[in-house]
Amino acid sequence: MFGPIWLILSALWSWGLWIIIWIVWSVLALVLWLLLAVLFLVWWNQEFILYQPSFNAPDGEGRQTPFNAKGYRTPADFLLPYTDVYLDVKDGVTIHGWLITQEVPTSRPTILYFHGNAGNIGHRLPGLRELYIESGCNIFIIDYHGYGNSGGSPSENGIILDAQTALDHL
């Protein structure tokens, strides 16, 4: 008496289970494809995401230190003695930096300071002032390719060349 109904219910359950499995696998495949698409977009735009020469200005003059907010343009804004330094990098780009010196610069060590990835050296002036006072050292800070008053475009290879050039200068 229950045989045919049981077989029908069993068949329906089996098909229902397969439909549920198919839906789950389809959703997982969709999520995997979306994840791969996002990872590809991040990889494709990694230099744009990583290197931020200016906070809110487009490329060009907005990234240069004379266009920073008042008080963040030169070490003189913080009463620090400095010299503008321009160095030619091996790839033909000229980079800019500041050598902030103590009263007797030859008797003090020099710190080679590499700033973070956003903004230019002018944005580091408050921290540089504290470092200058607390350490009693000279400070040499540079802007990388495409940052501040330096030429070129930001890239990993450019930053490596900038660091070696600054170190060779000292």
* pLDDT tens-digit series, residues 101-130: 988 877 889 999 988 777 788 888 888 999
The average pLDDT across 28-56 equals 82
SS3 state at 75: helix
In angstroms and rounded to an integer, the radius of gyration of the C-alpha atoms of the chain is 29
**CATH among 3.30.70.980, 3.40.50.2000, 3.40.50.1820, 3.30.70.1350 for 61-169:** 3.40.50.1820
What pLDDT, on a 0 to 100 scale, did the predictor assign at position 12?
62
Q: Is the predicted pLDDT of residue 33 greater than 80, yes or no?
A: yes
| Amino acid letter for position 169 | H
What pLDDT, on a 0 to 100 scale, did the predictor assign at position 6?
61
Q: Which residue has the higher pLDDT, 12 or 86?
A: 86
Q: Which two tokens stand for residue 91?
A: 């790839």
What pLDDT, on a 0 to 100 scale, did the predictor assign at position 65?
64
> What's 107's DSSP letter?
G
What pLDDT, on a 0 to 100 scale, did the predictor assign at position 20?
77
What pLDDT, on a 0 to 100 scale, did the predictor assign at position 66?
65
Question: Do you know the residue count of the chain?
Answer: 170
Domain residue ranges of the chain, discontinuous segments joined by +: 3-44, 61-169
User: What percent of the chain has a predicted confidence (pLDDT) above 90?
Assistant: 32
* SS3 annotation, 102-132: CCCHHHCCEEEEECCCECCHHHHHHHHHHHH
Residue 96 and residue 168: Cα distance in Å, rounded?
14
Q: Give the pLDDT band (50/70/90) at residue 132.
A: very high
Residues 43-88 have pLDDT tens digits of 887 776 666 666 555 555 556 666 677 777 888 888 899 999 999 9
Q: Which residue has the higher pLDDT, 145 or 16?
A: 145
- Which runs of E-coded beta strand occur in 12-126? 82-88, 94-100, 110-114
What pLDDT, on a 0 to 100 scale, did the predictor assign at position 166?
92
Q: Which residue has the higher pLDDT, 102 or 35?
A: 35
The H or E element that residue 31 is part of is helix 3-44
Within 10 angstroms of residue 5's Cβ, the number of other Cβ atoms is 9
